Structure 1
Amino acid sequence: MVFEPPQRLVRALGETAPEGDDWLERLPELAREAVARRELTVERVQVPGGRSSLVVLVRTAGGQPAVLKLAPRRARPESERAALVRWGGLGAVQLLEDPSPPAGNGGVLLLERLRPDVSVRTLPEAKALLEAAGTLRRLWVDPPGEHGFETVAERTGRQARAMRASAVADPEVAPLVDAALTAREELLADPPEHRLLHGTFRQSKVLAGERTPWLAVGPDPVVGEHAFDLARLVRDRVEDLIAQPSGATTTRRRVKRLAESLDVDRERLRGWTLFRAVESGVRARRVRRERDAELLLEFAAWL
């Protein structure tokens, strides 16, 4: 079996790879080793796949359909493993192997097989938001004691430093960056709760399953307040929002509806939505994904 990484993955990792990183070059051998160690039968590599990991559809030695996921260290796969163990299949895909990674695991996860081509994004928008929000609610649990998860303050601190540097180099984005950073400082002053969050939740991260209709995949877990997690969902289908003459009004209505449905403070949700949209937009601009940057920054301006 040739484990050829999809071009989407190659492009995405190429944007963020530190100098000298050779994970993509080593990936085919890492995949062969992981398959052999677990005695798996390979069906195919999932295409187009994700932006941070290789996903391979496999069967276990007992014939059970499964997914083998390989990710570089910078994608924090062991943090994902720890979160999946904490959730124990409630609202999220299940881990199918020992929670403790074996030596030399290399960022490999063996997961239950969901329906990779059926996400809530295939539903009409109102229904998709409802199902996604219900799934997200089940993931908001207390983190384990002495957890090693990154906090919202830590993650957004790293992002804030990069945003400031971008604003200096690109004065056009400076007003939005200033507004986003001000919102962050105010939000971190008095967070209402500290829960385990998915971290990168959106409609395409909720797939159809057998145990329950919808299950979340692909977390980049973080500990913080609910509004931070929900903020990414607000801008789902941003290209459709931008295309609407009433896009700004629809966005504000979406913030209100999601805040009320999940008992989250509306202004806190608006603030984190602003920060996360500006951060994503500035990052897209930095790596010359100009169309994505334009959409995200226009969306942020509505907030």
Structure 2
Amino acid sequence: MTTAPIEPPQRLVSSLSGDPSGPAGEWLAALPTLVQQRLDAWQLTLERVQTPGGRSSLLALVRQPDGTPAALKLPVPGRVPAQEGAALEAWDGFGAARLLRTDEASGALLLERLQGAVSLRSLPEAKALLEAAGTVRRLWVPAAAGHPFETLAGRTDEAVRALRAAGTLTRSADPLVEQAAELRRALPDGCDEQFLLHGAFRQGKVLAGERTPWLAVGPAPVVGERAFDLAALVLDRFEDLMAGSGAGAAARRRVARLADSLEVDRDRLRDWTLYRAVDTGVREVAAGARQQGELLLEFAAWL
């Protein structure tokens, strides 16, 4: 039995507005029915749909038959990694939200409920970085033989093409784009690490929990070296660094501090950070967020 209307959040609707008659648009139109089907099949009571929510999934706060709170997630088909559930299952609640149930047909995930309004971004910067580093360390487990996940090496050609295409489209910082593309092509061959990574780690992806203070959510799992995950943490709240004096030196110190604390090679972390800053920067410019994108490119140039 539902206790609240099933209405997709406006942020999700807006993100799919470019494909009203395509698969994503059809999924959006059917979403209230899909949610109701999961509620009925798993005997869940809907409390409310989480807003503003994300751009690639709907998250609903629900109660299980015994009254235990949980979160029901339905991803947009083709918009998020299909292996999210597999990664959460591999972590089994260690450092990440616990996976309770899955439905292969719809991609639905029933998850341990966390405090969605309280992320690491609510903490002072130094404390947030410390807690984030401790959380991501827990997620880095060796990939099992025959794992179902993509690898950084396997994504290389696609990643390089996408970066160069975005750089051409935006005509942004050509030398930096080329440098980042070459780093992306070379980096996977320079390290034999095969860890299961979060893939989209940042402070906003770490939420307050009940059984443990902080747990990660929303992975885009990939297998490769730890420096790839850690690079996103270097970039977190980079605006705070840029607002202070000696910003370039502060950025390089952050790389060194995080690398040393998590026993990651400094040079490889710097290179992955440069790549991820440029990649994110040109995408931001292409999406119309020129100021944010140009700040990221400036940050990359300091490295």
Using the size of structure 2 for normalisation, the TM-score is 0.92
In the alignment, which residue of structure 2 is the partner of 1:258?
A: 258
Deviations 1:56-98 (A, max 9, x none): 111001100000111112234530000011111111100112x
Residue 116 of structure 2: SS of its match in structure 1?
strand
Pairing 1:57-206 to 2, within 5 Å after superposition: 57-76=61-80, 78-97=82-101, 101-102=102-103, 104=105, 106-206=106-206
Task: State the identity as a percent.
Answer: 56
In the alignment, which residue of structure 2 is the partner of 1:56?
A: 60
Residue 61 of structure 1: SS of its match in structure 2?
coil
In the alignment, which residue of structure 1 is the partner of 2:271?
A: 271
The residue type paired with residue 148 of structure 1 is: P
The residue type paired with residue 267 of structure 2 is: E
Pairing 1:221-240 to 2, within 5 Å after superposition: 221-240=221-240
Deviates more, 1:41-50 or 1:211-220: 41-50
Alignment: residue pair count: 299
Structure 1: give runs of 5+ residues left out of the alignment.
none
Task: Determine if contact 1:86/1:144 at 8 Å carries over to the other structure.
Answer: no
Query: Which of 26, 38, 43 is the aligned partner of 2:47?
Result: 43
Give how far 1:242 is off.
2.7
Task: Determine if contact 2:119/2:208 at 8 Å carries over to the other structure.
Answer: yes
Give how far 1:300 is off.
1.6
Q: 1:238 to 1:4 in 2, by over 3 A?
A: farther
The 2-side partners of 1:49 and 1:279 are apart by 24
Give how far 1:19 is off.
5.3
Q: 1:125 to 1:13 in 2, by over 3 A?
A: farther
In the alignment, which residue of structure 2 is the partner of 1:30?
A: 34
Residue 94 of structure 2: SS of its match in structure 1?
coil
The 1-side partners of 2:17 and 2:47 are apart by 26
Q: 1:276 to 1:158 in 2, by over 3 A?
A: same
In the alignment, which residue of structure 2 is the partner of 1:245?
A: 245
The residue type paired with residue 5 of structure 1 is: P
The residue type paired with residue 5 of structure 2 is: V
The 1-side partners of 2:191 and 2:255 are apart by 19
Using the size of structure 1 for normalisation, the TM-score is 0.92
The 1-side partners of 2:110 and 2:10 are apart by 23
The 2-side partners of 1:18 and 1:294 are apart by 34
Task: Determine if contact 1:77/1:107 at 8 Å carries over to the other structure.
Answer: no
Q: Which runs of 4+ in 1 moved over 6 A?
A: 15-18
